[in-house]
């Protein structure tokens, strides 16, 4: 919604927001937090809104927003790192199990097979893990 009608003239949503916040300046901080988190408002837009409603609060609020955005980004990074770590750990476990099963069934494992397993993607590892159940040779496990 780019425009809304108010008292016979066109106003942008930003102008309506500023007008509403001037009437209730105590709501500025929570509303701006919402706009940052829900709609990813950029710094320039936030500064403009703050400047229009409470200019004396611009620097303190922007400093606090910056700290909170950094904290949020750090927490998201930690979460993503944990997720990637779990995925890598899961993959390593599947690779280790496949190599153990292959070694027990078709020992010794040639180096080229070990290298191929270590370079394989998760889908390929799953395919090979399924094939080992019925394969009578390494060739039957790794045929393309």
Full 3-state SS string of 74-91: HHHHHHHHHHHHHHHHHH
CA distance 5 to 10: 5
Q: Are the C-beta atoms of 35 and 41 separated by less than 8 Å?
A: yes
Residue 23's pLDDT is: 86
Tens of each residue's pLDDT in the chain, 144 residues: 444 445 445 568 788 888 888 888 888 888 888 887 777 777 888 888 888 888 888 888 888 877 877 888 888 889 999 998 898 888 899 999 999 999 999 888 899 999 999 999 999 999 999 999 999 999 999 987
Tally of CB atoms within 10 A around 50? 23
Cα–Cα distance for residue pair 143/116, rounded to 1 Å: 12
Q: CA-CA distance, 114 to 107, in Å (whole number)?
A: 12
**So what's the pLDDT on residue 1?**
46
Tokens encoding 84: 């990637």
pTM of the model: 0.49
Helix ranges (DSSP H) in the chain: 13-23, 28-39, 43-53, 58-106, 111-119, 122-131, 138-142
Angle ∠(103,105,106) on CA atoms, nearest 5? 70
């Amino acid at each position: 919604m780019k425009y809304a009608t108010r008292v016979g003239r066109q106003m942008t949503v930003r102008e309506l927001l500023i007008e509403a916040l001037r009437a209730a300046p105590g709501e500025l901080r929570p509303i701006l937090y919402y706009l940052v988190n829900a709609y990813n408002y950029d710094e320039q837009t936030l500064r403009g809104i703050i400047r229009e409603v409470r200019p004396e609060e611009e620097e303190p609020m922007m400093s606090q927003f910056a700290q909170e955005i950094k904290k949020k980004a750090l927490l998201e990074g930690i979460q993503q790192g944990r997720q990637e770590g779990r995925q890598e750990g899961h993959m390593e476990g599947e690779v280790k199990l496949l190599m153990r099963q292959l070694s027990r069934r078709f020992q010794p494992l040639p180096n080229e097979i070990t290298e191929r397993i270590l370079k394989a993607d998760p889908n390929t590892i799953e395919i090979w893990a399924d094939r080992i159940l019925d394969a009578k040779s390494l060739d039957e496990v790794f045929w393309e």
